[in-house]
């Protein structure tokens, strides 16, 4: 089933609330027993947690969660149901992609809550997309375990089948971008005055919404089509999108990005895009212990000392000490642990952020980054200069 305003909502008669015990089993042998809801089946993936307190429809449809079992630390989830999808020029206004992307959901308590304008409730929504979930476990203990021991693989399964599980999928070894990128070019807002090309690894629709609001024609081009397909759009600017999985598997895509960096076209990298640009310039990327996933994480702007609350969803970070390109310098760092959260180039119109400036759900502190990108596009089109500091 695909999201869209022409689709009939799932029948409320199809609500699945299992009377069977379910287990979340982790690869280190830890287990948490609760009750199943959503789809009645087992599912494996990398177990990660988010501290987001709202916006679960956006979280579940975020392509960066592909291949993962999501633990929501907020204790009560589902209280406002799932909204009716709103589509504008092919861009979803209230979801981040056309499908649920996670492999499983873990919550302390799921409610069958509905608003007057709800499409369905959370359990029905998960069942419609064949995604299992578990409730009734101590998510505080689970999050604490993941913080101490780090992200690990796991499986949600009926309790009577969990004992037979002997193999684990290795999240780090699979290229999940192949499951989230479009198969061909997609154009949004075709009447826009100039084109921004999105190198699409699994772009969040929030990024597309922001670009459309700025009046751009948007051409989403998967990396499988090659550099020439993207440049044939004659873009005024390029956005290298977010996406799921291990960036160290994307050697061909890093080569693609390296070619784009030589084109003198303004480039904005977001999340995975930030990592790929940095890798193309010689940085290495390493796995974080348990990642940054939440909508209230503070970053510091190194150019002017500004502090901002931002939305994050990443399990990897760049190692800047390995960068041989002196013009590529840190822009933002996380106040929590010093992780580099953005970079600027002093010689070329290139910028990147590890967090999500489009912010849905989350704070709006850094939406000015898109305006900065627009000014760079305008300046580059008129003369070979561009702004380098602050807003």
* Residues with active-site annotation: 271, 356, 358
Instruction: With beta carbons less than 8 A apart as the criterion, state whether 82 and 114 touch.
Output: no
Q: Which two tokens stand for residue 347?
A: 């010689």
Alpha carbon distance 152, 53 (integer Å): 23
- Phi, psi for residue 40 in degrees, rounded to 5: -90, 75
Instruction: With beta carbons less than 8 A apart as the criterion, state whether 117 and 240 touch.
Output: no
DSSP 356: B
Q: Which value, in Å, is the radius of gyration of the alpha carbons in the chain?
A: 21
User: Around 100, how many Cα atoms within 13 Å sit in the side-chain half-sphere?
Assistant: 26
Using the structure block, give the residue that is written with the tokens 């999808």: 85
Q: Which of 296, 68, 92, 379 is nearest to 207 (CA)?
A: 92
**In what order do the strands lie in the sheet containing 195-199?**
186-188, 217-221, 195-199, 237-240, 267-270, 350-353, 340-345, 328-334, 284-301, 307-319
- Phi, psi for residue 69 in degrees, rounded to 5: -95, 120
CB atoms closer than 10 angstroms to residue 5: 11
Alpha carbon distance 107, 152 (integer Å): 17
Residue 2 belongs to what H/E stretch?
Answer: none
Alpha carbon distance 387, 221 (integer Å): 27
Q: Which residues are within 8 A (CB) of 326 and not within 5 positions of it... i.e. 6 or more apart?
A: none
Judged by DSSP in three states, 169 sits in coil
Distance of CA 48 to the CA centre of its chain: 13
DSSP 242: P
Using the structure block, give the residue that is written with the tokens 């392509």: 63
Alpha carbon distance 231, 138 (integer Å): 50
């Amino acid at each position: 089933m695909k999201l869209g305003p022409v689709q009939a909502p799932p029948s409320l008669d199809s609500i699945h609330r299992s009377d069977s015990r379910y287990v979340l089993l982790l690869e280190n042998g830890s287990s948490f027993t609760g009750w199943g809801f959503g789809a009645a089946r087992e599912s494996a993936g990398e177990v990660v947690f988010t501290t987001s307190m709202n916006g679960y429809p956006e979280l579940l449809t975020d392509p960066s969660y592909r291949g993962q079992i999501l633990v929501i630390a907020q204790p009560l989830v589902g209280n406002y149901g799932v909204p009716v999808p709103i589509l504008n020029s092919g861009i979803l206004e209230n979801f981040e992609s056309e499908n649920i992307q996670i492999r499983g959901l873990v919550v302390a308590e799921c409610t069958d809550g509905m608003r007057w304008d709800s499409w369905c409730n959370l359990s029905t929504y998960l069942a419609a997309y064949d995604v299992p979930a578990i409730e009734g476990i101590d998510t505080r203990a689970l999050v604490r375990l993941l913080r101490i021991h780090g992200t690990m693989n796991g499986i949600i399964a009926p309790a009577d089948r969990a004992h037979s599980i002997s193999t684990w999928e290795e999240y780090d070894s699979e290229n999940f971008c192949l499951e989230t990128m479009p198969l061909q070019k997609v154009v949004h807002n075709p009447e826009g005055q100039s084109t921004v090309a999105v190198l699409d690894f699994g772009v969040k629709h929030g990024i597309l919404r922001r670009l459309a609001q700025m009046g751009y024609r948007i051409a989403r081009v998967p990396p499988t089509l090659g550099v020439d397909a993207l440049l044939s759009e004659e873009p005024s600017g390029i956005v290298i999108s977010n996406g799921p999985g291990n960036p160290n598997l994307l050697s061909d895509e890093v080569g693609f990005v390296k070619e784009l960096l030589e084109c003198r076209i303004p480039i904005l990298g977001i999340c995975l895009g930030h990592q790929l640009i940095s890798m193309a310039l010689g940085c290495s990327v390493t796995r974080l212990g348990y990642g940054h996933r939440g909508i209230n994480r503070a970053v510091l702007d190194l150019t002017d000392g500004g502090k901002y609350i931002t939305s994050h969803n990443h399990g990897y970070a760049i190692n800047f000490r390995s960068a041989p390109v002196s013009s590529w310098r840190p822009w933002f760092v996380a106040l929590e642990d010093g992780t580099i959260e953005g970079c600027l180039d002093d010689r070329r119109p290139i910028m990147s952020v590890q967090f999500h400036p489009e912010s849905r759900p989350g704070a709006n502190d850094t939406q000015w980054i898109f305006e900065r990108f627009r000014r760079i596009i305008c300046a580059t089109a008129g003369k070979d200069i561009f702004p380098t500091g602050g807003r």
